Amino acid sequence: MGSAAKHECAVCVHFRKAPYEAKQDGCYHPKLMQAKQKDAYLDEQQVPGDHTVINRNGDCPEWQERPARLSFVRRLFSLGA
């Protein structure tokens, strides 16, 4: 029995969480959104896909891991360089 890796929505590039990144928690992948807006100023009107339904079995087809954050020192030097 081979076990496939389960994907967690919280570490996906397309997952945004309220209140800082989005109006609603959900999947903001363009293919999976319920309603999307072309213009950036209409971003508040977007309706994300329900991440609990999309990734019910942990096998979301559009899942991508977020890149690792740079360390504090590297971020500090990148601002000054």
Residue 62 vs residues 25, 52, 58, 72, 81: alpha-carbon distances, Å: 17, 14, 11, 30, 35
Lowest mean pLDDT across 5-9, 10-14, 64-68: 5-9
37 Cβ contact partners less than 8 Å away, ≥ 6 residues apart: 43, 45, 46
Query: Which residues pair with residue 65 across a beta bridge?
Result: 12
pTM of structure: 0.69
Q: Where is pLDDT greater, at 74 or 27?
A: 27
User: pLDDT digits over 17-64, tens only?
Assistant: 888 877 888 998 989 888 888 887 777 788 889 988 988 888 888 888
Q: Where are the domains of the chain?
A: 9-80
pLDDT, position 38:
80
- Average pLDDT, integer, range 5-25: 85
